Amino acid sequence: MSNISENTLVLLKPDTVLRKLCGEILSRFERKGLTLTALKMLKLTPEMAAEHYREHIGKPFYPDLVEFITSGPIVALVLTGPNAIKTVRTMMGPTNPVDAPPGTIRGDYATVMSNNIVHGSDSLTSAQREIAIYFTDQEMF
């Protein structure tokens, strides 16, 4: 842990847009003190989804994962701050909302693993790789 600022990629998944929770989730991250460095709305192509979730290609849940993440528009964010990657993961809670305590995003807003509201990069390497899928340097502020 250090106080050096880092970037992380966050996706507000299609369920979040559909349920009109984008403002609420973004607000949590802003209140925490993370800085909004980039933001866009887009619909992932199957190719982009494969790039984003490439570590999961071949797993049993992969087809459903791609179908869900490409099912509607999403909001992509870059959030910045000291320990931003771990901070976002802690705020999200565990992958399965059943295990996510109240107070976490998945604990407060989700019931099933397939529709779990939010994505956050899981490491510095992932963050750098994922940010480049969504944003050019000119789109980061």
Active site residues: 119
Q: Is 106 annotated in some ligand binding site?
A: yes
Cβ atoms 116, 13 nearer than 8 A: yes
Measured in whole angstroms, the distance separating CA 86 from the mean position of its chain's CA atoms is: 12
Strands 5-12 and 74-82: antiparallel
Interacting span for ligand RTP (CB under 6 A) from 26-34, 71-79, 97-105, 117-125: 117-125
CB nearer to ligand RTP: give 38 or 69.
69
113 binds ligand RTP (CB under 6 A): yes
How far is the C-alpha of 84 from the C-alpha of 32, rounded, in Å?
10
Which residue from 95, 101, 111, 141 is in contact with ligand RTP, where contact means CB under 6 A?
A: 95
Q: How many CB atoms lie within 10 A of CB 41?
A: 11
116 sits near ligand RTP (criterion: CB under 6 A): yes
Considering only 80, 114, 129, 133, the residue that binds ligand RTP (CB under 6 A) is 114
Both tokens assigned to 101: 């305590």
Binding site for ligand RTP (CB under 6 A): 56, 61, 65, 95, 113-114, 116, 119-120, 122
